[in-house]
Amino acid sequence: MNNWNWIVLFLAGLASGIVSGMGMGGGAILIPVLVLVANPGQHIAQSVNLLYFIPTAVVALVIHIRNKSIDFRMAVPIIIFGLAGALAGSWIAASMDAGLLRKFFGGFLLAMSAYEMFRKGRNNGGK
């Protein structure tokens, strides 16, 4: 990789960290940049994203706990079912062809983008 690729990866990591800290999921930035710039393959890019997520999530969680902006009664059931979903999703992704996984991820990004662009009558969480 040349120096420009490293700079792009650095900026993608920074932007992804900012977005993750805001609670929006930085994988939407990090995975496409990894695939397009570093070309590691879809499975590896998604695995790197998951590994990247651990320390950034811990930092964001500490800050949100300090700001008392977490409802733990709501979070616990989401965490439990999220863990079950993570097990199922990782099993499915590991058994999937990389090209198909890339298409599913791209479709997910498009669907979420369309949802955010066209949703009506909602503000930023009632604030």
**Position 116, amino acid:** E
Mean pLDDT in the chain? Answer: 87
87 burial (CB, 10 Å; 0-12 / 13-18 / 19+) is exposed
Over residues 82-123, the pLDDT tens digits come to 999 999 998 998 899 989 998 998 898 899 889 888 887 666
Classify residue 28: in a domain, yes or no.
yes
Domain span holding position 107: 3-118
Alpha-carbon distances of 63 from 50, 70, 104, rounded to whole Å? 20, 10, 33
Classify residue 64: in a domain, yes or no.
yes
Query: Mean pLDDT across the stretch 77-84?
Result: 94
Classify residue 123: in a domain, yes or no.
no
Classify residue 124: in a domain, yes or no.
no
Classify residue 125: in a domain, yes or no.
no
Q: Round to whole Å and give the CA distance between 55 and 75.
A: 19
Classify residue 127: in a domain, yes or no.
no
Classify residue 63: in a domain, yes or no.
yes
Q: Round to whole Å and give the CA distance between 64 and 107.
A: 31
The total of structural domains in the chain comes to 1
* pLDDT > 90? residue 74: yes
31 burial (CB, 10 Å; 0-12 / 13-18 / 19+) is buried
Classify residue 105: in a domain, yes or no.
yes
Query: Mean pLDDT across the stretch 40-53?
Result: 88
